Amino acid sequence: MENCGDSRAQLDDTPRDECGVFGVWAPGEDVSKLSYFGLFALQHRGQEGAGIAVGDHDNIVVFKDTGLVSQIFDESVLDALQGDVAIGHTRYSTAGGNSWDNVQPMFRTSPNGTDVALAHNGNLTNYQELQAEAISRKLIPSGGVQGQGSSSDTAVVSALLADGIRDECTLFDAALDLLPRLKGAFCLMITDGDTLYAARDPHGVRPLSLGRLERGWVVASETCALDIVGASFVRDIEPGELVAIDATGIRSERFVEEPREARCVFEYVYVARPDSVLDGQTVNASRVEIGRRLARVQPVEGDLVMPVPESGTPAAIGYAEESGIPFKQGMMKNAYVGRTFIQPSDTLRQLGLRLKLNPVRTVIEGKRLIVVDDSIVRGNTQRKLIRMLHEAGAAEVHVRIASPPVKWPCFYGIDFASPGELIANHGRGGTDEEVAESIRTMIGADSLAFVPIDDMIAASNHPAETLCAACFDGKYPLGLPDGNPNADLVRRIQKGDTHHD
C-alpha cells in the first residue's frame, strides 16, 4: 500500500478506496457511453485515473488516462469506442504509483492470440509471490519498464491470466485455474472482446452486483452504477463466484468450495455511496442507524446537529432524529472541488479546507454544535474544521464520530495511513474513551466520542463473523501481505515488540 504522506494528503486526510469497476455486455447498445456513465457513478471510489476497454469480437480498444472521468472522456473519444462489450475502471493507487502505466484496464495478448483486458478492485496479499512467478516465467520484466505497468498487482494478474490461454484452454478455463491462487481482496472485470467475465474473491470483501438491461447485462462495484444506466438489480455476485456473460446467456461457477465471508464494514461507514445496496443492505439505512445508536450511547447537550458534508450527513440525520435536536446544514461544500493541478502558495495553503468547506455563520453563531463525521484518520481536517467553526462564532463544538477509532492500516483495498500516522495511536490512551479524550485535546473539540464497534456492526445488518473490521480491531481475516513495511510493523505490534511508531 502507498503512504499518502504528501502535501495533498495533509490537506485531505480522508481514507481513500482503491477503485470501482464496471462491465457491460449489450449488443446494439452504446456500451462505451454506458461505461462512461457507470464510471461517473463510481467516481467516489477513485479519482486518480480511469479507463474503458471496448471489444467488438475481433479487437479490444483501450482508452485510459490519469484524472477524473469527466476530464478523460469526451463525445469524440466515446464515439470511437465501438463494440458490444466493455469494461471500465476508476482508480486510486494503493498498489503501484499514480502513473499512466498503472491506470486500468490492463491489456495483454495471450500465446494463442486472444486479447484480454482486465480491471481490478482490491489488494492481493500474495502479490509478491505472484509477481515473482510472473517474472520467472518472463511475463513481466524484472524491475518494470515503461508501458508494462508491472508495479501493480493488476498487471501481474493480467499477465498470468493471459498466459494461461493456450491451445484449447479458454479464458474461462484460465480464470478458473488462476483465481483460487489469488489471496486477498479482489473484484475482477475481464473481457476477451466477446464475453464479459466478473469474479469476486471468496471473502466478498468488496461489493459486486449484477444488473439487467433490456438488451444486455451490467456488472458494477455498486448498485448506484446500475441505477444510472437504467439496469435493474438482479443479484450480488457471490463470494468465490466467476460469472461469464455472452450471447448464450450467463454461466456461473464457484472457484472455491467453502467461501469465508469477510465483507468490509467500512463500505457501510464511508466508502460506498449512500444510495447503493450492498449484499442486501441499503448503505443510507446503515448510516442513519449508526447515527441513532451514536445518539443513544454518546449523548450530549447541544442546539443543533450538523454533518461534515457529505459523508457525515446520513449519520447526522440519525443522530438528530434519535436525540430530538434539530438538524441543520452548518457548512457548505463546494461540489466542484476535485483533483487540482494548481499548487497553492503557502498563504493560500492555510485556507485549503475552505476550498471545500465553508461555515454558514448565521446558522452556527452562538450555538452549541454537535458535529457528526464518518471517521477520523489523521485528524488534520477535523482540527482545521473546529478552528473554522469557532472563528465563525460557535459557542461549543462537540464531535461525534460514526465509526470506532481507526487504529490499524487496511491491506484489502483502502488506503489508510501507516499506524504511526493514525491519530488514534497518538497519546497514552488504550480504551476508546481514553483515545477519544486524547484526540479531543489534539483537535480542540469541547467533547469527542465514537460509536462502539458492536453498534457499528449491528447497523450493517450483517453478523459480525461475516465482516472485516480490521482497521478498527486489528483482526485481519485474510491475513497480512509479505514484504510490506506496514504489515511487518503490524506483526511486531501484535507480538508486543513495538508501539505504533
Residues making up the annotated binding site for Mg(2+) are 311, 373-374
User: How far lies 151's CA from each of 69, 97, 131, 500, in Å?
Assistant: 23, 7, 9, 28
CB distance 44 to 147 below 8 Å: no
Three-state SS annotation for 149-206: CCCCHHHHHHHHHHHCCCCCCCHHHHHHHHHHHCCEEEEEEEECCCCEEEEECCCCCC
Q: List all residues 6 or more positions away from 340 whose beta carbon is below 8 Å from its beta carbon.
A: none
Q: Which residue type, as a one-letter code, is found at position 126?
A: N
Q: Which three cell numbers stand for residue 343?
A: 499548487
**CB 340: neighbour CB atoms within 10 A?**
9
User: How far lies 261's CA from each of 201, 365, 467, in Å?
Assistant: 9, 48, 7
Give the residue ranges of the annotated binding site: 264, 311, 373-374, 410, 468, 471
Q: Which residues pair with 91 in a beta bridge?
A: 19, 49
Give the residue ranges of the annotated binding site for [4Fe-4S] cluster: 264, 410, 468, 471
CA separation for the pair 15, 356 (Å, rounded): 16
Q: List all residues 6 or more positions away from 309 whose beta carbon is below 8 Å from its beta carbon.
A: 329, 331, 332, 333, 357
| Choice among 19, 169, 187, 224 that is catalytic | 19
CA separation for the pair 112, 19 (Å, rounded): 31
Is residue 19 part of the annotated active site? The answer reads yes
* Ramachandran assignment for 292, one of left (phi > 0), alpha (psi -120 to 50 degrees), beta (any other): alpha
The distance of Cα 244 from the centroid of its chain, to the nearest Å, equals 24
DSSP 8-class letter at 96: S
Closest residue by Cα to residue 420 from 448, 462, 378: 378
Q: How many CA atoms lie within 13 A of 67 on its CB side?
A: 10
**CB 259: neighbour CB atoms within 10 A?**
17
- Positions marked active-site: 19
